[in-house]
Copies of this chain bind each other. A is one copy, B any other.
Amino acid sequence: MTDHPPHIAKRMSEIQPFHVMDLLACARQLEAEGRSIIHLEIGEPDFPTADPIIKAGQQALANKRTQYTPATGLPELRQAIADYYQQKFAVEIPVSRIVITPGASGALHLALGVLINPDDQVLMADPGYPCNRHFVRLLEGRAQSIPVDSSTGYQLNAELIKNNWTDRTIAALIASPSNPTGTLVARSAMQEILALLENTQGRLIVDEIYQGLVYGVDDYTALEFTEQAFVINSFSKYFGMTGWRLGWLVVPEEYMDAVDRLAQNIFLAAPTISQYAALAALTDETEIILRQRRDEFKKRRDYLLTALRALGFEIPVSPQGAFYIYANCSKFTDDSFKFVYQLLEQAGVAVTPGIDFGSYKAAQHVRFAYTRPIEVLAEGVKRIAEFVNNC
């Protein structure tokens, strides 16, 4: 047929791959050649899904729960999430505002889908999770990536939002804990942001997908302070259900009709077995396991943070959540992309280059994930030490 280059949507020139995928392919190739590779690039916990959840999934299959649920999700699971907010944060969320989604990706898609018109702008932090800006672009909006640094804990705050708000800005997106920085937005800062947006008529979208994975600080939800924010959550991280593809969205009441319509059309529904299994994720039995895992993540963070600082990586804000450390590597390189490939090829350690999280000082940063046991992290640190001593 035609030799002409294909017609391709313009958005695709701005929707980038995760560069770490190429690095991972390279790592797999080295492993296939017999090399040992320490994986500090993978944003997925090493723990398999907890047994009570697995068992609930098997039971759902035995009960032949294989048909569609309503687009907004299994009513029992929506209720269980409402109960979870009540028990954990003492906040009352009407079940009618909780929508079960295929992963947090689905939740973000719904929130942005009902908000964004073409060329509308959404404020977000750089560095930040790249899918956020790509979703905005998919819907023909414009991500306003605001450079953030250690002075604000790598987070947007009310001042940054105010100073960067334009006539076309319709929302701000906050992730707490953040990927890649592991930093949190303090309660008081969240309240200031909400107060500001109340005046500007802007919407806040809060990514709470790492909720529960916080270390040494109190956890909270933006829902304690507002009924007007879109709040995204996930069963992937704290609940350890990545491959099940299940998340949820808490929706301001007046958007529920639109969100329901959009969900009907773009997903039909989240996976049924995952929804039944997730009922077991919210039980006391599972909570015991999940807390143990959180404690293990805390130990890993403590270990890796200390070790990386000792090696000369600059980490001015101690990460308090998620399972990432965002480190300034400018003592060793002015090109973190080149650095990560050298580290992989010469030392057998895979980490994620800063470019995967934005452009602001990306070449001076890398992200370490502590999704492997401490003994693996220790081997990684040993190899990195040898490598940087030769830099």
Contacts and interface: CB of A to CB of B under 8 A. Distances in A.
Interface of A: 1-2, 4-12, 15-18, 21, 44, 48-49, 54, 57-58, 61-62, 64-69, 102-103, 105, 109, 113-118, 130-131, 134-135, 138-140, 170, 198, 201, 203, 226-228, 240-245, 252, 254-255, 258, 260-262, 264-274
Chain multiplicity (copies): 2
Nearest to A140: B140
A260 to B, nearest CB: 7
B203 A138 contact: no
A258 B134 contact: no
Contact of A66 (B49, B61, B134, B267): B49
Contacts of A10: 117
Contacts of A17: 260-261, 264
Contacts of A7: 115, 170, 201, 203
Contacts of A67: 44, 48, 242-243
A66 B44 contact: no
A8 B115 contact: yes
Given A15-B261, A16-B261, A243-B273, 9 more contacts: A1-B228, A7-B170, A7-B201, A9-B113, A18-B264, A49-B66, A66-B240, A66-B242, A243-B269
A8 B105 contact: no
Contacts of A15: 258, 261-262, 265
Contact of A255 (B1, B6, B66, B258): B6
Nearest to A59: B58
A113 B12 CA distance: 8
B12 A262 contact: yes
A201 B118 CA distance: 27
A65 B243 contact: yes
Given A64-B54, A102-B102, A109 B266 contact: yes
